[in-house]
Amino acid sequence: MKIICISDTHNKHQNLTIPEGDLIIHAGDFTVNGTKAETFHFLGWFAKLPHKHKILIAGNHDFYLEKYKDRLNEIIPNEIYYLMDSGIRIENVNFWGSPYTPGDGNWAFNKSRGSQISQHWNKIPLNTDILITHGPPFGILDELDNKQQIGCEKLANQVLKLNLKYHVFGHVHNDYGIERTKTTIFINSASLDEKNRSINAPLIFMLKNLK
């Protein structure tokens, strides 16, 4: 299965050259201001992509999906799997997605560091193969230009308990790329750079069916 990863497109999704593949993941922040118009413009574009499977999570800019999280069946097109502390199994692969990031609550899907955000990470099943979160775990592809690391410590702790094959995220535009450990491949798929230029190519990986 050929998997395409993008994130943090911030209304510039149509500037991207999207490769062919079997499945595409968007790891959140598809809008700038989280308005209804921005949301539906993106969803219409994403739903029409030719990939057989399309997985989406929200990010801290995507206020509309947070505001109407009880009406998602009216908002999300049938062609899209939208994950919010939920999972889906596709071709023997277990995906789990969560939009939450540490913050002071001024952004969408923000939770305070510590026990509040841990409640969401504790929901991740142990049999998850591919984890999709908007933000990175602390210490992995989470560094700003000033060298400050802004990833989530509690997420990093939880990832150590899981037998993940891949962890896909975005949020930190400065640290786009791939990092490998002995057990897991981490992918920061932020499509825009720190100056909000759409110059980061979609990241691709091949995955054999897991049994």
Residue 211 resides in a domain: no
Residue 150 resides in a domain: yes
Does pLDDT of 207 surpass 90? no
pLDDT-derived band of residue 211, with 50, 70 and 90 as boundaries?
A: low
Angstrom distance (rounded) from CA 142 to CA 135? 8
Here the CATH number for the domain that contains residue 167 is 3.60.21.10
Of 54, 41, 40, 75, whose CA–CA distance to 5 is shortest? Answer: 54
pLDDT digits (tens, 9 = 90+) for 16-72: 999 999 999 999 999 999 999 999 999 999 999 999 999 999 999 999 999 999 999
| Alpha-helix residue ranges (DSSP H) falling in 8-114 | 36-47, 63-67, 72-75
DSSP 19: P
pLDDT digits (tens, 9 = 90+) for 3-15: 999 999 999 999 9
Angstrom distance (rounded) from CA 24 to CA 20? 9
pLDDT-derived band of residue 74, with 50, 70 and 90 as boundaries?
A: very high
130-133/166-169 β-pairing = parallel
Phi–psi pair at 83, nearest 5 degrees: -110, 130
Residue 16: domain span: 2-206
| pTM score of the predicted model | 0.96
Total number of domains constituting the chain: 1
What local confidence, expressed as pLDDT, does residue 210 receive? 58
Report CA dihedral (41, 27, 176, 148) to the nearest 10 degrees: 110
Residue 97 resides in a domain: yes
